[in-house]
Amino acid sequence: MSKTFALRRVHALAEVDLDLQPGSFYSIIGPSGCGKSTLLKLIAGLMRPSSGHVTVAGTTVTGPRRDIGMMFQQPVLLPWRTALSNVLLPIEIRDGSSAARKVRDTALGLLELVGLHGFDNVYPYELSGGMAQRVAICRMLITEPTLLLLDEPFGALDELTRDVMNLELARICESRNVTTFMVTHSIPEAVFLSDVVFVMSARPGRIADTIRVDLPRPRTLEVLSNDRFTGFVKQLRLSLAVGAA
């Protein structure tokens, strides 16, 4: 199976041409307003490119589709639904309530995977920010997407929680063989999670630099103190500074 994105000359973006390999983790980093989120919405099919096209798994993206999972900066959990019911929401919307009941065990398994065993009947107002984002991860994974689009998924969390969540995300993505495309503002986060980091510059939005991070996997917290990790962080910071100048 191959999955490629070809993206050319999109609205608010200049010539952007990305080719993503299946099973890899990609990050896009750049100043605010450079069109990162626009790019993500284009890939998700939530926006139409004014010219050019997006291809996922061999077919052109014409609108939202089920093999793409999305996650936002806020968990966006529905407060009147339990954690489990929130996880089942995508199935309930796409296939109906009876289909959602059938994947209940899958959903419970996902909650267990992110360390929320026993929290299935808890309402969002009883969850911490990190726990709520874990539920959002489960909700994204329940439809078994092959492409994950993450829009600053942990940007609203404190740094300690963020480190733990990044570790969790690395583990999940490594074990599931999904392609991930993440928008972030954090240089260490981008290096820690990614195989490839795209540096974007603003006005017009374009890819200014591409950095391949060939740190070994699975990535653990020890990677953070690795010399090569620090080297990539420096390289990325420099690249962003050049782009901003």
Partner 1 sequence: MARLRRESGALEAGALVEPEERLIERVPRVVWLAAVGVLLLSLWQLLTMIGTVSPILLPGPAEVADEIVDSATNIVSGGHVAEALATTVVEILLGFIGAAVLGFGLGVLVGETRIGQTAVMPYLVGFNALPKVAFAPVFVAWFGFGVESKIVMAMFIAFFPMAVDTAAGLASVDRDALLMFRQLQAGRRKTLLKLKLPTALPYIFAGLKTATVFSVVGAIVGEYLGGGGGMGELVRLSAQSLRIDRVFALITYLAVVAMVMFAIVSWVERRVVFWQQGEELEGKAAWPTS
73/235 with CB nearer partner 1: 73
Q: Which stretch binds partner 1 (CB under 8 A): 11-19, 120-128, 174-182, 204-212?
A: 120-128
Q: Is 216 exposed, middle or buried (0-12, 13-18, 19+ CB in 10 A)?
A: exposed
Contacts of 164 (CB under 8 A, 6+ apart): 130
Is the separation of the CB atoms in 60 and 109 below 8 Å?
A: no
Please tell me the total number of residues recorded for the chain in this structure. 245
CA distances from 53 to 7, 92, 114, 135, 204 (A): 5, 30, 35, 32, 18
Instruction: Please tell me whether residue 159 binds partner 1 under the rule CB under 8 A.
Output: no
- Which stretch in 23-31, 75-83, 106-114, 231-239 sits in contact with partner 1 by CB under 8 A? 75-83
- In the chain, the N- to C-terminal Cα span, in Å, equals 40
According to the binding rule CB under 8 A, does residue 64 interact with partner 1?
Answer: yes
Question: How many residues of this chain interact with partner 1, rule: CB under 8 A?
Answer: 24
Taking only Cα atoms into account, the Rg of the chain, rounded to an integer number of angstroms, comes to: 18
User: Does 79 interact with partner 1 (rule: CB under 8 A)?
Assistant: yes
Q: Does 242 bind partner 1 (CB under 8 A)?
A: no
Applying CB under 8 A, the span of 59-67, 156-164, 173-181, 191-199 interacting with partner 1 comes to: 59-67
74 binds partner 1 (CB under 8 A): yes
Kindly report the CA angle at 174 between 56 and 45, in degrees rounded to 5? 25
Considering only 51, 58, 125, 214, the residue that binds partner 1 (CB under 8 A) is 125
- Shortest CB 174 distance to partner 1, Å: 24
CB of 188 to partner 1, least distance (A): 25
Amino acid at residue number 185: H
**Is position 99 an interface residue for partner 1 (rule: CB under 8 A)?**
no
Q: Where do contacts with partner 1 occur on this chain (CB under 8 A)?
A: 44-46, 63-66, 68, 70, 72-74, 76, 78-80, 89-90, 92-94, 123-125
